[in-house]
Amino acid sequence: MTHFLDIHTTSKDDLRAIIDSARAMKTARDGRPKGTPDDEAPLAGRMVALIFEKPSTRTRVSFDVGVRQMGGQTMVLSGREMQLGHGETIADTARVLSRYVDLIMIRTFEEATLQEMAEYATVPVINGLTNRTHPCQIMADILTYEEHRGPIAGKKVVWSGDGNNVCASFVHAAGQFGFDLTFTGPQTLDPEREWLDFARQQGVRAEIERDPHKAVEGADLVVTDTWVSMHDPESAKERRHNQLRGYQVNEELMAKAKPDALFMHCLPAHRNDEATSAVMDGPHSVIFDEAENRLHAQKAIMRWCLGV
Ligand code: CP
């Protein structure tokens, strides 16, 4: 069973093949209207379940459109409205869904839920975000970087802010795609040590620098994300803002990076908190290319999972 659960658990060769396939499929569409099918229909006759236990705009729409462009069909399921949200086990849900659909994408809270779904499903499972990681987003980000600047291997990426689930997948990608990553943020919000160790074991630099201005020196890419994630309590908001204010990505900070550095944010953003509108809408920003590339990267991930 070929699940796509995380970047660090997928081989380097497979990750590269997915990126190359995404780029080829994007090019082949040649700007045609979004609702028209691809030339090939690799998902013809396939049914895909998209399960959301958390809100989503990009993941929901990009998976749905991607399946349709490849000739398949989708059903979008809300965890709350399924028996899953009323006591049915993940294992039973996985076994039942596997009798109806060919592929499952799930966005959930606990990583254990994703893992149990993958253990009991007899069809491939894709991680559409957990509290711990967000691999589909980072595959889109790698595609985006390479479209603009060529190979990401050997580059310096700086993550500023909260060492959250999106940051975790960026750290995994550093190890798998061969780039250096510097995290800058308060100690209480550091990415997990285990992730940094994983990247280092692959032979890249994965560092922590508390001073954001020092951290971004020589950066090829500066990345941030919301200061309060979907799984964080609302009560954390004020404290987070106080802790993270110094890590805002603004024009002054971007000026310390390389002149041709890119800026990324996976969205949704809280404008003028984690990043200013001047940066988000400025010359370094590729945030809407990242959003578009969710579609292309995930189409390649689905084809890889199904071997089609
Ligand atoms: N970046 C991202 O995953 O967006 P959504 O929460 O809108 O899916």
Residue pLDDT tens, the chain, 308 long? 899 999 999 999 999 999 999 999 999 998 899 999 999 999 999 999 999 999 999 999 999 999 999 999 999 999 888 988 888 999 999 999 999 999 999 999 999 999 999 999 999 999 999 999 999 999 999 999 999 999 999 999 999 999 999 999 999 999 999 999 999 999 999 999 999 999 999 999 999 999 999 999 999 999 999 998 877 787 788 888 889 999 999 999 999 999 999 999 999 999 999 999 999 999 999 999 999 999 999 999 999 999 99
- 165 assigned to a ligand binding site: yes
Alpha-carbon span 118 to 94, nearest angstrom: 8
- 212 assigned to a ligand binding site: no
Domains 32-132 and 137-290 share a fold: yes
Q: Does the domain formed by 32-132 have CATH 1.10.1530.10?
A: no
pTM, 2 dp: 0.97
Confirm or reject: Cβ of 78 under 6 Å from ligand 1.
no
Residue with the nearest Cα to atom 3 of ligand 1? Answer: 59
Residue with the nearest Cα to atom 2 of ligand 1? Answer: 58
- 172 assigned to a ligand binding site: no
Class of domain 137-290: alpha beta
CA of 137 to the centre of ligand 1 (A): 8
Alpha-carbon span 72 to 173, nearest angstrom: 29
Catalytic residue among 3, 46, 68, 107: 107
Q: Where are the domains of the chain?
A: 32-132, 137-290
Q: Is 200 a catalytic residue?
A: no
Q: Is 266 a catalytic residue?
A: yes
Q: Is 149 a catalytic residue?
A: no
